[in-house]
Structure 1
Amino acid sequence: MQIGCHVSIRNGYVEAAKTAYRLGARAFQFFPKNPRSLGVKIYDERDAEACRLYCAEKGLLSIAHTAYPVNLCTIDPELAQITKESVRNDLAIAEACGAIGVVVHFGHHKGSDVLEGYKLMIQMVNEILDGWGGRAKLLIENNAGQGSRMGTTLEELTQVRELFAEPHKVGFCLDTCHGFASGLWNGSNWGKDAGKMRELDYFSSLCAVHLNDSVYQTSSFRDRHAQIGKGMIGDEAFATFLQTPELHGLPVVLETPKTGEDSHAEEIRHVRELADNWQG
């Protein structure tokens, strides 16, 4: 499996890819720019191209992630415009680096009318992708269920995608901690969940996985990641999850807490063992 982790770009894009490879990763995630800002970055095109070529040489898959402040359901017109420009910038950087796409959280609507939140999100995504001709996709990530509970069910994820003007430019990123926190997955019902995903044709648009254990119990609606096997989900549930044929070949990326500079190397090995050798 293409198992890897999130890495820093503090030394540039190609160095991020090299760091991932040194850790034993076959996939990685990166922030295209400052994750706490919605600014537009003028990036080093030569560095991005070097990253793309290095990944192609080493067989590395990558995904990018939008900045923390991005909310696809914002009601502020000025903030919405800034957000659109920021996400389009992320797509351009991801494309230049050879990434599969850019992960963005399903929107959070703070108003009482949740339907209005869906309308705002659909409009925002349509405007972000209008005129986008790159191969990098916008990858919608399921929510943990905070606030209005938007973005937590398979039905709404697949239905909202079909409502976009250009759904072929949109894929999914499945976060295991978010799915556990929202009650989508309780750790023992993956067979049922996978069956529903097949029924709803979710897997055909699944482009990446965030592999995270959870500090809190299922249906807690609390998003806090734990290292694989050291949280409430546990090794056995992850081993079952990793046997899913539709996940093979996808980037499976850890966003778990680091305990040292190279701690993800050990965790990547652990996940690979779960995927390859689990006996139950």
Structure 2
Amino acid sequence: MKSEPSTKELDEAMKFGCHVSIREGYTGAAKHALKINAQAFQYFPKNPRSLSIKEFDQEDAKRCKTFCQEHSLVSVAHTPYPTTLTPPSEKKELVIESVLNDLEIANMCGSIGVVVHFGSRTNEEDPLSSYHLMIDMLNTILEQWNGKCKILLENNAGKPGAMGTTFEELVQVKKLTSFPEKIGFCFDTCHAFSSGLWSGGNNDELWKKAMELGYLQDLEVVHLNNSKYPLSSGKDRHANILKGGYIEKRYFERLFETSYLSEVPYILETPTDSGISHEEEIKMLKQKMGK
């Protein structure tokens, strides 16, 4: 169980970062993150709009890992947009091979995990079938995977009651797989606000519950996003942290003060076309924390 750090330790441990492009390669992505004063970064290991297998530059990936180690950078990968753990039967093999490819790339880059969205409901008449499919997909992938990099299940956006919007679901799916030790979690603040899981005002209650359920112990990364829509709207539209969103600044400050989250990297997936860059957001967040 995670111990509760002091305020000083909390401020020193917190890592803020953002999603970056691999246009200049994996090492180039890491260098860009360092250039904008990020302490963590997320990247797509390949084309974000395709499940095609990528023959990647292994030496570049190894250099990325070394660079991150030398500069105390934390990295995490994100599967391409078409990835789903509840695919139609004709796409199952394609998704399995694609996720294994993502894991291989991320592992060589030294990343802590690969973020995968929680599955979606595929049969309204038999809701449990979607969970069964998801567990089967995870087992099939992970029985072929022996690297250090984990699959990180991300909570879904959606109306309250939609699949993948509660800690109970995430923890139970992990427990029911044959390889729970190879699975961790990613918490998205916009998704949680969209689904009503995290209102900002229920912060202490929520993380106490997360600890009791065993979710918090396996939380590896937080996607730090504001929401363009109100609480429980069911809509997944990201806004900048301190500008133009429905999640109030005080709620983010309360989240940052949650001591059990002090060592979890916060990754921005916020828009950069609204007059504020990720570099500026990271600077503001560090100033808020007195860093």
TM-score strictly above 0.5: yes
Range with greater deviation from structure 2 (38-47 or 257-266)? 257-266
Q: Which residue of 2 aligns with 1:247?
A: 261
Q: Give the 3-state SS of the residue equivalent to 2:246 in structure 1.
A: coil
8 Å CA contact 1:63, 1:101 repeated in 2: yes
Q: Name the structure 2 match of 1:56.
A: 69
Of 89, 93, 101, the match for 2:101: 89
| Alignment counterpart, residue 198 of structure 2, candidates 185, 190, 194 | 185
Q: Which amino acid aligns with 2:239?
A: A
The aligned counterpart of 2:136 is 123
Report the counterpart of residue 170 of structure 1 in structure 2: 183
1:1-280 equivalent positions in 2, closer than 5 A: 1-74=14-87, 76-112=88-124, 113-145=126-158, 149-230=162-243, 231-259=245-273, 263-276=277-290
Give 5+ residue unaligned stretches, structure 2: 1-13
Contact 2:114/2:150 (<8 A) preserved? yes
- The answer to whether the Cα contact below 8 Å between 2:48 and 2:81 also exists between their aligned partners in 1 is yes
Q: Go from structure 1 to structure 2 and tell me whether the alpha carbon gap of 1:260 and 1:178 turns closer, same or farther (over 3 Å shift).
A: closer
One-letter amino acid of the counterpart of residue 90, structure 2 = E
- Deviation of residue 133 (structure 1)? 0.9
Q: TM-score, normalised by structure 2?
A: 0.92
Q: 1:66 to 1:261 in 2, by over 3 A?
A: farther
Q: CA deviation at 1:235?
A: 1.1
Q: CA deviation at 1:60?
A: 0.1
How far apart, in 2, do the equivalents of 1:158 and 1:60 lie? 28
For 2:281, the aligned partner's letter is: E
Identity rate, percent: 50
Alpha-carbon shift at residue 39 of structure 1 (Å) = 0.6
**CA-CA distance at 1:48 after TM superposition:** 0.3
Task: Determine the C-alpha separation between the residues in 2 that align with 1:172 and 1:148.
Answer: 19
Instruction: Work out whether residues 151 and 184 of structure 2, in 8 Å CA contact, stay in contact via their aligned partners in 1.
Output: yes
SS in 2 for 1:10: coil
Distance 1:214 1:92, change over 3 A: same
Secondary structure of 2:230's counterpart equals: coil
**Distance of 2:275 and 2:34 partners within structure 1:** 14
The AA in structure 2 aligned to 1:266 is: E
**SS of structure 2 residue aligned to 1:116:** helix
Runs of 4+ deviating beyond 4 Å? none
Contact in 2 for aligned 1:30/1:64 (Cα 8 Å):
yes
User: How large is the RMSD of aligned CA atoms in angstroms?
Assistant: 1.6
